[in-house]
Amino acid sequence: MKFLCPSPELADASSRGFEIDGQKLFAVRRGGQVYVYLNRCPHRGVGLEWKPDQFLDPSNSLIQCATHGALFLIEDGECVAGPCAGQSLRAIPCREDTQGIWISL
């Protein structure tokens, strides 16, 4: 397991980008639960963020690709609208404890 960040650094209804071992990732916290994905749109293989740490749509309820506007469910990364509908983001296994958020690459 690799340490991602202390828990307070990822507020609820927010997202944050990371690079670990050359892999670009992002984390989203929603309803107290953390979700981590590879930062790569399944449509074109590009990063998803609008600007650093900005991975969510204006309502903070979906992940949105800045390039084509594709929308993904936060809970499982499934594309629900856009050019890659039916495809999914690649989830990164994670867990949270008293030290913070950990991932398994």
Return the pLDDT at 50: 87
Q: How many domains does the chain have?
A: 1
HSE at residue 8, side-chain half, CA atoms within 13 A, is 0
Return the pLDDT at 44: 86
List pLDDT tens digits, range 34-61: 999 999 999 889 999 989 999 999 999 9
Mean pLDDT of the chain: 96
Boundaries of domain holding 78? 2-103
Which residues are paired to 94 by β-bridges?
103
Q: What CATH number does the domain containing 11 carry?
A: 2.102.10.10
Return the pLDDT at 43: 87
Largest CA distance in the chain: 39
- What pTM value is reported for the model? 0.96
Helix/strand/coil for 86: coil
| Average pLDDT estimate for 8-30 | 97
List pLDDT tens digits, range 60-82: 999 999 998 999 999 999 999 99
Burial group, residue 76, by CB count within 10 angstroms (0-12, 13-18, 19+): exposed
